[in-house]
Amino acid sequence: MENLKALGQAAKQPNSPEEAELERVPNPHPDCNFVARFTQPEFTSLCPVTAQPDFAHLIIDYIPDQWMVESKSLKLYLGSFRNHQAFHEAFSSLFMRNSIPSRFPDSFVSYVFRAF
């Protein structure tokens, strides 16, 4: 865990999702399945049509295998969408297809992403 860039130190909010880096930590209990939940009650992005702030309540549930998402890096990643123009549907697709599978291959048994 000594290679973590966000946890335990001051971390600058990334300007865009492309700059953000999701980090991982070892699952302390890889021998049993449990649901890890992360909620973001005020996820914000910009509407691509009006450029006005768009809000959602996110719930991310997943069953970790060998690795877990480090929560501070996830908060910074989600915050990087604050000035990014995207519909929530596009964000959820990006997150489900690109972020978790590409950055954490073989790390999760299952995950669910919901935006309200």
Helices (H), 1-116: 71-79, 88-94, 100-103
Residue 65 known to be catalytic = no
Pick the closest to residue 54 from 41, 69, 44 (CA basis): 44
Which of the following is catalytic: 54, 61, 65, 106? 54
Contact 98, 113 (CB under 8 A): no
Residue 54 known to be catalytic = yes
Q: Catalogue the active-site residues.
A: 47, 54
